[in-house]
Chain A
Amino acid sequence: MTRGDPVLTATGLQKFYQSGDRRIEVLRSVDLTVAAGESVSIRGESGSGKSTLLNLLAGLDSADAGTLAWGGAPAKASRRAVFLGIVFQSFYLIPEIDARANVLMAARMLKAPGAKERARADELLQRVGLTERATHLPTQLSGGERQRVAVARALMNSPQLLLADEPTGNLDEHTGDVVIEMLLALCRETGTALVLVTHNVAHAAKTGRQLVLTNGRLA
């Protein structure tokens, strides 16, 4: 896939929830195309449906209407491990294994990691500045360090698209800035497209395209 080709194409995505007799429309009709290597931010108020949209884009949830394609082909759960990397607000590291093993976990989903995958995990940990902390358990890491491990894990399988859902939401301002800079730099270096969901206007401004989710539509 070359720069400019669409890695993500969402057309007419709709999502609603039923609350008793009331139908709550979270996403009315979302159209979004993200090109390879592009970075896009999505802002919106709390409850505007940002995370719901990201879950739909990641294929973790199903839309009530609309279509979703990854790299020109219909999105399927079986392609997720290869095509996508996801960074969550709450890190979600596996507490029983160390930082290096957490990064390698993404590779394990595809096959048992060999020397190449281990070298890649070490390289990513070095890129996020955690070489010295590679053998530390998540409980021995700070919040910023945990999120950096999560970023390294998301990039482990060299995905074409990285989805980040409020990655700085649980971090202080300075640490959040560091993580966002690192995330953008890594995506630029690797040519990975980025969709960043954030509240932070300054962080959103650092992406190539800024979108706002209002009344269930992207603008």
Chain B
Amino acid sequence: MPWYLYLAFKQLFPTGRFPFFTAISVLGVTLGVAVLVIVTSVMGGFGYEIRRMIVETEGEIDVKARGYVADPREILAKVRATPGVAAATPYAKGAVAVLAAGRTAYPMFRGVDVNSVESVTQLGRFVNPRSSLAALDDDSVIMSSALANSLGVRIGDKIEIYSPLIIEKMKSDEVFLPREFRVIGDLYIGHQQLDSSTIYGTVRAAQDLYGLGKGVHGIYVRVKDGENEHAVVARLNATTLPPTMRAFSWMESWEDFLWVLNLEKSINFFLLLFIVIIAAFSVMSSLLISVVRKTREIGLLGALGARARDVALCFCAQAFIIGVTGTLAGVGLGFGVLAIRNDLVHGIAKIMQRQDTLRQFYQFSDLPSHTLTSDLVLTVVMSIVISTLAGLIPAWRAARLKPVEALRSE
């Protein structure tokens, strides 16, 4: 080991005494990195949960029609036969008005084909075990739990649904009566927006509400395991679909939302990086103090034959070692906190009696976490680079010291 690395280690972790200055410097980097890991993982978790909910409720690809497809049978068969497609199911959906027990809500009515929807989505997983999607008929619906609660509707109750078609009918002085449905179950997805404003019924019920005849608004598609969804989307658009239809991956369908989410994550990362930069100033400060305290030792090193650049490397190495140690400890601490994040959040919410607020404002009942390797690598690299850069000024000052002057210093 070159002398400057040896001495860097020895100065940071001296024999026989607690390395107080080193511990403070390392702790600063550790805390900064831990916060970065926690925040990027939680933000990544939000993205991951949203992906999970989208894919599990709408499939990986959404084939949308311009307007609607009057007869989807032929195109559905073509989509199912497209290489890479594992399953496809038609849907019709739109906003409706719901009247129940004198209360009104305006949720999204999602009409699904009960025979094929579970081959594409995992909706059944979210439905209350007392009911099932297979039990849906053209006169029944399953409501999201928060919507049912807000309307005061219980399983077995009847509700009335008005579609926007009523406006068209009114223009031509026709009377359009609301459809009556029986609530046969509720479902809980875990996303506040979906849980508070969604009704699932059959695709035929949706067709009636929107006057689509046999038509549908689109087709949800699941791709085969190992298939790239973007490749399948490209294949569908190029060879399978007519010009009036277009396939979108779940990422394209939710592009704006995901962009905002990613932007939030990037801004958070940028802002929190300042914690690491502040920690780097702490490293710089400690090393500058070290240069002053060890001025005569630096002079001695020169007298022993050390080159100025090796003296500089000794201090840069110390900053690097602090950076690496602090970063590794920070990653460990970050993952440790992430492991108990829900206990912490629920504990705090319980103490403040705000469990419902958490769900209402943050969409999820649990704090999600998903650490992307790229985020982790970026955090680790940035932290080590910034910490090492913090050693440059002390290193420069140490290298500038002339041995004879350093040895004379008091």
A contacts, CB < 8 Å to B: 55, 58, 60-61, 77-78, 80-82, 84, 86, 88, 90, 92, 94-98, 101, 105-106, 108-110, 112, 137, 153
Contact = CB atoms under 8 A, between A and B. Distances in A.
A62 to B, nearest CB: 9
B303 A58 contact: yes
A191 B296 CA distance: 30
B306 interface: yes
Contact of B404 (A55, A81, A110): A55
Given A98-B15, A112-B1, A92 B407 contact: yes
20 contacts: A60-B302, A60-B402, A60-B404, A60-B407, A61-B404, A80-B303, A80-B305, A86-B304, A90-B296, A92-B300, A95-B14, A105-B7, A108-B3, A108-B6, A109-B3, A109-B304, A109-B306, A112-B1, A137-B15, A153-B304
B366 interface: no
B6 A94 contact: no
A112 B404 contact: no
A21 to B, nearest CB: 23
B217 to A, nearest CB: 73
Nearest to B7: A94
Contact of A97 (B2, B15, B296, B407): B15
Interface in B383-408: 402-404, 407
B274 to A, nearest CB: 33
Contacts of B6: 108
Contact of B303 (A86, A95, A97, A98): A86
Given A60-B404, A86-B303, A97 B10 contact: yes
A106 B303 contact: no
B5 to A, nearest CB: 10
Interface in B1-21: 1-3, 6-7, 10-11, 14-16
A40 to B, nearest CB: 20
B356 interface: no
B71 interface: no
B2 A96 contact: no
A96 B10 contact: yes
B305 A81 contact: yes
Contact of A106 (B297, B304, B404): B304
Nearest to B4: A108
B410 to A, nearest CB: 11
A112 B6 CA distance: 9
- Residue among A60, A61, A86 with the highest chain B CB neighbour number at 10 A: A60
User: Which 7 pairs, one residue from A and one from B, show the smallest C-beta to C-beta distance?
Assistant: A81-B305, A108-B3, A96-B14, A92-B300, A61-B404, A60-B404, A80-B305
B52 to A, nearest CB: 53
Contact of A109 (B1, B299, B305): B305
A167 B307 CA distance: 25
B330 to A, nearest CB: 26
A77 B307 CA distance: 8
A4 to B, nearest CB: 26
Contacts of A97: 10, 14-15
A112 B1 CA distance: 6
Nearest to A96: B14
Contacts of B407: 60, 88, 92
B296 to A, nearest CB: 6
- Among A84, A108, A112, the most chain B Cβ lie within 10 Å of the Cβ of A108
Given A80-B304, A92-B303, 18 more contacts: A60-B302, A61-B402, A77-B305, A80-B305, A81-B305, A81-B306, A82-B305, A86-B304, A88-B300, A88-B303, A92-B296, A94-B297, A96-B14, A97-B10, A97-B14, A97-B15, A105-B7, A153-B304
Nearest to B403: A60
B11 A112 contact: no
Contacts of B1: 112
Contacts of A84: 305
Contacts of A96: 7, 10-11, 14-15
